[in-house]
Amino acid sequence: MSLQEAAASGDRRAALEALRDQLALLIGTSESARDVAALSGQLTVVLKQIEELSKGDKKNVSALDEIAERRKARRKPIKDGAARESS
């Protein structure tokens, strides 16, 4: 999906991801250090916005996924390879 199509769709995440891809392409093809610096700053802002949207997505995790994640965390070693005691 092009940047114009993503922006027109009204889907913020899609628009940000298309913008991220466009900025990365421009950074990779630019021969101007000044342009790369400016584009990199914009890319950082876009990546942060995508990350913030992703955090909101995690709120919609199912109860089953939450339980599975807690079980997985309990199986992780505490330190020095020692297993966590079950409760």
Give residue 86's pLDDT.
52
**b or e along 38-59 (b: 16 or more beta carbons within 10 Å of the residue's beta carbon)?**
ebeeebeebeeeeeeeeeeeee
DSSP string spanning the chain? --HHHHHHHT-HHHHHHHHHHHHHHHHHH---HHHHHHHHHHHHHHHHHHHHHHHHHGGG--HHHHHHHHHHHHHS--STTPPPPP-
The pLDDT tens digits of the residues spanning 7-55 come to: 999 999 999 999 999 999 999 999 999 999 999 999 999 999 999 998 8
Question: Model's pTM, two decimal places?
Answer: 0.63
8 compared with 60, residue with greater pLDDT: 8
Please check the confidence at residue 61 and state whether its pLDDT lies above 70.
no
